[in-house]
Amino acid sequence: MGFGRQFAQYRLPEWTAHYLDYKGLKEAVKTLRLNRLTTHEHTETPALSKGYSLAVEPLIPQESRRQSAQELLQSELEKVSAFYRVRRQDLETSINGIFTHLQCSKEKLLMLSSSTDLRHRLPSLWRAIHQVHRNLWCLEVFCEINLLAGQRFVDLLRQRHPEIAERALKALQGADFAHTLELQGYRKRLYRLIADNITNGDVNAAKQLLRDSETYYNPGDVCRVACSLGMAVVLVLWAVSLILGVENYSLLVPSMPVFRLSFCLLVAGWVCAVVLYFFETRNINWVFVFDIQSQIEYSYLNIMRIVSHLTVLWAILLLLHSWHLRYGSEDEHRDFLSLATMTLCLCYCLFPGYPDVRKGLAAALGNILISPFGSVDFRHFFLADILTSLAKPLSDIARSSCYLASDSWLLSTPPHCPHETFWLCLITVLPLYWRAVQCIVKYRATGNAYPHLFNLAKYLVSLLVVLVLYVPIFAVNAANKTVWLGLSVLATAYCAYWDLVVDFGLMKVHTQERAFARWVYYAGGLIDALLRCVWILTLFPLDFLGHDQLEVELVLLGVSLLELLRRGLWAVFRVENEKFSNLEKYRKNDLVPKVPKIVLD
């Protein structure tokens, strides 16, 4: 999506007239370029080659065009700065008013049992604090998106008119609204006022109090999600009790890939909803980072509502399947329920109610599939990286398709899948290949050996692990197994190091305040490193995990679920780090504006 559309989406309706005229500035640059081309086309003598034309309609001199563009930029910057100064003065007055209000309400504040009682005991004070915080947030978004628009304009000048780009950059840096540290000072002052008077000096509690007030909760949606989830848990427990009473456990094996695949899809939906919850509560502007349309309602509650309904349907199918295995006769083991469960998977992949989501995912997957010829943006890298963790759930697609395409689903017998090892190897190798090719594409586009070539080495080592395991020529003696073990240890250590240092940014000094406390990042890094040891199992063939088929299926389920949880943890920290660090240059500008609060109370 172009920046012009993003810029339009981030404008508050009440302040529309006070933003930079980004479209007008772009038109001025285009006019300069067209005038230059036309001047060269109509030049007939060397004496007239520096700015004038002998065309029938004389052109404006090039120097006048440049001066006009600079004056337009200066007037736009002054317009934004003037509005910023007015809003800043109003903000300072409001904070002073809150200080006075707090001083007058000291006795009532001492009677509060907790900071959450503020909105009920002192609603006028709460509304005033909430209003100031909202206006401060909107002013920060206003400054950041205008600063980003100015930077994009300067970048455009560098490409077409470098002679005036530096002057434009100095003018932008000298604008009042470009000094966002002033607003950070107001924010710290507001936190300190709330901490000193309401939260007993705890600044983090003050931040949490304001953050909770900005989080949207729909009680009806929460109730429906909770009821659906509770119903699904009861049904699953009932199904498990029936499965434990089955005499012949071999009857469970044929349909396991179908139910495991559908269950992993549902867990991925729940993990996605939880990740979005952290993005929304911690004000991580993931929509801007992924460069997607912000008009779509990507609420975590909406996704939870859809996934909870599908979870109940899956639990009902599992219960019916368990009942059929427990009480059905041997000659009636015709597993129509597996076919119904596979149909549920297809309905889930269609993501009902979100056609734009389906379109965006299809476009992203299309770019990944045609690598190295597709574009490589952050959303393409992110999705391809997640696919590298889903080797075992993706392999269930091939096994489930083989099961349902043969007569096995009618007889509940293990299917005989031709070339199964080849397809499982291909499904494991392709995501790693896509990421390796994406690293090469980004290296050629940016010329930066770090991090792209170092990231490429990580995926090449993982590819070697897969090839040593699956290609028969490599697994014939103990020496090759030793090589494989060394490669596995190297791949696990390399991936864990990359997660902690590059993706999580634990070794960097961030000038801006991060979304979580520092200990959260180290605890998350430790969990990620431990679960990376489980991730390496997703690259192994099925016969490596055990000899009993039922045990193998259960180990696959556990490994897949742990890897999905690890990926959810990784997604939160990776996107949050991308907000501060544009290390791999997926964005043209480093600045990521805050999430806009569209409603001004």
The CB-based long-range contact list for 428-432 (8 Å cut-off, 24+ gap) reads 428/391, 428/395, 428/466, 428/470, 428/538, 428/539, 429/463, 429/466, 429/467, 431/384, 431/387, 431/388, 431/390, 431/391, 431/394, 432/388, 432/459, 432/462, 432/463, 432/466
pLDDT at position 40 is: 45
Q: Is 306 exposed, middle or buried (0-12, 13-18, 19+ CB in 10 A)?
A: middle
Q: How far apart are CA 344 and CA 300, in angstroms?
A: 21
Distances (CA, A) of 506 to 281, 568, 570: 21, 18, 13
Distances (CA, A) of 536 to 2, 462, 491, 528, 563: 39, 9, 8, 13, 10
Contact 111, 121 (CB under 8 A): yes
Q: How far apart are CA 43 and CA 37, in angstroms?
A: 10
pLDDT at position 260 is: 85
| Selection from 569, 570, 576 nearest residue 289 by Cα | 576
Residue 22 identity? Y
pTM above the 0.75 mark? Answer: yes
Q: How far apart are CA 547 and CA 505, in angstroms?
A: 41
pLDDT at position 538 is: 63
Give me the half-sphere count of Cα atoms (radius 13 Å) on the Cβ side of residue 237. 6
3-state secondary structure of 509: coil
Contact 25, 76 (CB under 8 A): yes
Structure token pair of residue 271: 């993990």
Q: Is 279 exposed, middle or buried (0-12, 13-18, 19+ CB in 10 A)?
A: buried
Q: What does pLDDT average to in each consecutive run of 10 residues of the chain (601 residues)?
A: 79 88 84 54 41 40 65 90 94 88 69 57 76 89 92 86 84 89 87 83 81 65 86 91 81 78 88 90 86 68 85 85 75 56 61 67 89 90 91 79 67 67 85 94 91 93 84 60 81 91 81 79 92 73 62 83 93 91 83 68 38
pLDDT at position 442 is: 93
Could you tell me the residue ranges of all domains in the chain?
3-214
Q: Which H, E and C letters describe 143-209, residue by residue?
A: HHHHHHHHHHHHHHHHHHCHHHHHHHHHHHHHCHHHCCHHHHHHHHHHHHHHHHHCCCCCHHHHHHH
3-state secondary structure of 370: coil
Contact residues for 70 (Cβ-Cβ < 8 A; gap 6+) = 164, 167, 168, 171
Q: Is 509 exposed, middle or buried (0-12, 13-18, 19+ CB in 10 A)?
A: exposed
| Selection from 515, 582, 564 nearest residue 289 by Cα | 582
pLDDT at position 50 is: 40
Contact 314, 392 (CB under 8 A): no
Integer-rounded Cα radius of gyration of the chain:
30
Q: How far apart are CA 341 and CA 317, in angstroms?
A: 7
The CB-based long-range contact list for 332-339 (8 Å cut-off, 24+ gap) reads 333/251, 333/411, 333/412, 334/409, 334/410, 334/411, 334/412, 335/254, 335/255, 335/409, 335/410, 335/412, 336/409, 337/255, 338/255, 338/258, 338/259, 338/400, 338/403, 338/404, 338/409, 339/404, 339/409
In 513-548, alpha helices (H)? 518-535
Residue 247 identity? E
